Amino acid sequence: MTRKKNHHWGTTLDEFLGEEGIREAAKAEALTRVVAWQLSQEMERQGMTKAALAERMHTSRAQVDRILKAKGNITIETLQRAAALVGRELRLELV
């Protein structure tokens, strides 16, 4: 029995994602998840509940859950607002 050689064997994750055509989408999702995690860490540090953040954002607790789980299409504006409401600043830059 001969096995088909995996053409991705030995490539980096970045190369694999590029070959599959999903590198930019994967990076965007990873960045969103990191910001969501940082936001939840700051909320925890301050003892702020999801309900309190939702009230400050004039939105639902379900929307705050989506933000913190990085689910759905979360805009940069939404992340900026959430960051500001916990006393932080969202920074984006070209490198």
pLDDT digits (tens, 9 = 90+) for 7-16: 657 678 888 8
Q: What is the pLDDT of residues 38-55, one digit of tens each?
A: 999 999 999 999 999 999
Distances, alpha carbon 16 to alpha carbons 11, 27, 31, 45, 87, in Å = 6, 13, 18, 37, 38
Task: Judge whether residue 21 has pLDDT over 70.
Answer: yes
pLDDT for position 69: 93
pTM of the model: 0.77
10 Å CB burial of residue 42 (0-12, 13-18, 19+) is middle
Place of tokens 């999801």: 50
| 37 touches 79 (CB < 8 A) | no
